[in-house]
A and B are shown apart, each in its own frame.
Chain A
């Protein structure tokens, strides 16, 4: 079985987002770039499946649509344990563009399971995974919080409102994964970091695709009123505010 893990390159969660060029783009100075947290969990699970020799995962490949500046993040994924990487050499314009590029690569390379994080912490799209599946005409399962392989058959746990469902789909498929897919993300061991330098990163040129959406400007969230403090001995006052001022209870 060959697994493909799609990874996004995003600013670290604690980054203070600032805008540039008249609020039309994000100011990237000083940003620490990391692997999208959901993709990190996704990669961890893929590697856990590979560690179990009885399952027979031949390789775990990571793919990223982005420019050469993303190389560090790709190497991090290799250091964590991915066997090889593919980079589509293009700036990621929108979800449609990214999904189409990845689908083109998958058509040539053939993977059994494609794993995508449910969203990326930059644009919170939740779109790319499903699009890849539709471009390829293969099934996709979303909100996946667990993947196992039993007797050669992948068994997925997906979250539904108020509970979970255990489902199976035939190979190949796209698993769109969320929290629960792995307990915590794997870190790169020193051995992994050293070996990452020798693992192949194949760069492919993009196919011509026009994006369907575009971000034209950004704005900061509307600042909310400063916190009104209520005395710890007077909780009734809090309830009064919630009832009569905020009108939420």
Chain B
């Protein structure tokens, strides 16, 4: 009986997301009086693996295999399920990000393990095993009981704080034989943006809506984001009109994010948009309509013309940075 946590890496490096997962897994392990085993796939060097120990991973299994040429959910879930069985894992913690969402359900069928997806707190109860989970796009939260012996939890991004619980982990590097028939995905092409802060990783996000009136008005917003070290986002009409790239669209059918701070400029706050940002720790709204629904969801607000307020805000940030 142990807690297994799958820590994704990006070009051999872990991100804050990976450490959040280990912190969460450690929290669960503590409740169950057991230990945490982290699993990583791909070439990650020792020092990087050891960093997982800072958050409580007592054992780290690093899978290195040349046959894993691309991310294939069938192949990955097969590897992880073998390890879960070997390690006698009863709880498996995975992220609720793209890869995690692809792996968790397949793993569930292999292990006959119930899944609680998008959890943001440690289990409310151990018997029955109850999780607190987001439903109805954030309009309600459910207490979900997992009845199976093995349980899979996917953790919502940026919902759990990093807790240091340093241990010295044992590292095991394995190169399992991978059944060729399972590795079916062929990658034809990869297009990656470099340099920009990823929206889903960002702690601070500055987002613009239709109230910005025109794509030509974006420079002060981009400047504010850059000064704050923030990622930029937008509402759906803005991406539909082509003012901003589709990757920036946050909302129910766009990206669902949970930054520490979300600054909504010229966004009215339609239900669909709020569904994408409701898990943000703090929301600031700038809108010239005092009755805009966004103010019901935000903690701080300025009623005013976004195009006039933004430059003043930029100046104010520059001032305090001095």
A and B touch in the complex (CB under 8 A): yes
Name the residue of chain B whose CB is nearest to the CB of A161: B198
- For the complex, give the distance between the alpha carbons of A237 and B77 in Å: 50
Q: Which of A17, A168, A249 contacts B186 (CB 8 A)?
A: A168
Which of B142, B228, B304 has the most A CB atoms < 10 Å from its CB? B142
B97 adjacent to A161 (CB under 8 Å)? yes
How many residues on A have C-beta within 8 angstroms of the other chain's C-beta atoms?
A: 83
Contact B253 A239 (CB under 8 A): no
Q: Is chain A's binding surface mostly helix, strand, loop or mixed?
A: mixed
Binds B, one of A54-62, A133-141, A194-202: A133-141
Q: A235-B316, A249-B261 are in contact. Are A167 and B302 (CB under 8 A)?
A: no
Surface stretch bound by B, among A43-51, A78-86, A106-114, A221-229: A221-229
Complex partner residue of B147 from A134, A162, A170, A213, CB under 8 angstroms: A213
- The smallest C-beta distance from A137 to any residue of chain B, in angstroms, reads 8
Per the CB 8 Å criterion, the residue count for chain B at the interface is 97
- Interface presence of A104 (CB below 8 A): no
Of chain A, the residue at the smallest CB distance from B77 is A134
B277 within 8 A of A: no
* Residue A65, interface by CB 8 Å: no
Q: Which of A134, A178, A220 has the most chain B CB within a 10 Å cutoff?
A: A134
For residue A221, which residues in chain B have a CB less than 8 angstroms away from its CB?
138-141, 278
Expressed in whole angstroms, the minimum distance between the Cβ of A118 and any Cβ of chain B is 7
- Is A53 in contact with chain B by the CB < 8 A criterion? no
* Complex: A95 Cα to B106 Cα, angstroms: 12
- The 12 listed contacts between A and B (C-beta, < 8 Å) are A17-B136, A126-B105, A134-B77, A135-B109, A215-B135, A219-B140, A220-B141, A221-B139, A228-B301, A233-B312, A238-B313, A248-B261
Give 5 A-B pairs besides A139-B74, A161-B201, A162-B193 with Cβ atoms closer than 8 angstroms: A142-B102, A160-B71, A212-B115, A235-B313, A241-B300
Please give the residue numbers on chain A whose beta carbons come within 8 Å of chain B beta carbons, in ascending order: 11, 13-14, 16-17, 19, 26, 37-38, 41, 94-96, 99, 118, 121-131, 133-135, 139-143, 155, 158-170, 173, 176, 178-180, 211-221, 224-225, 227-233, 235-236, 238-239, 241-243, 246, 248-249
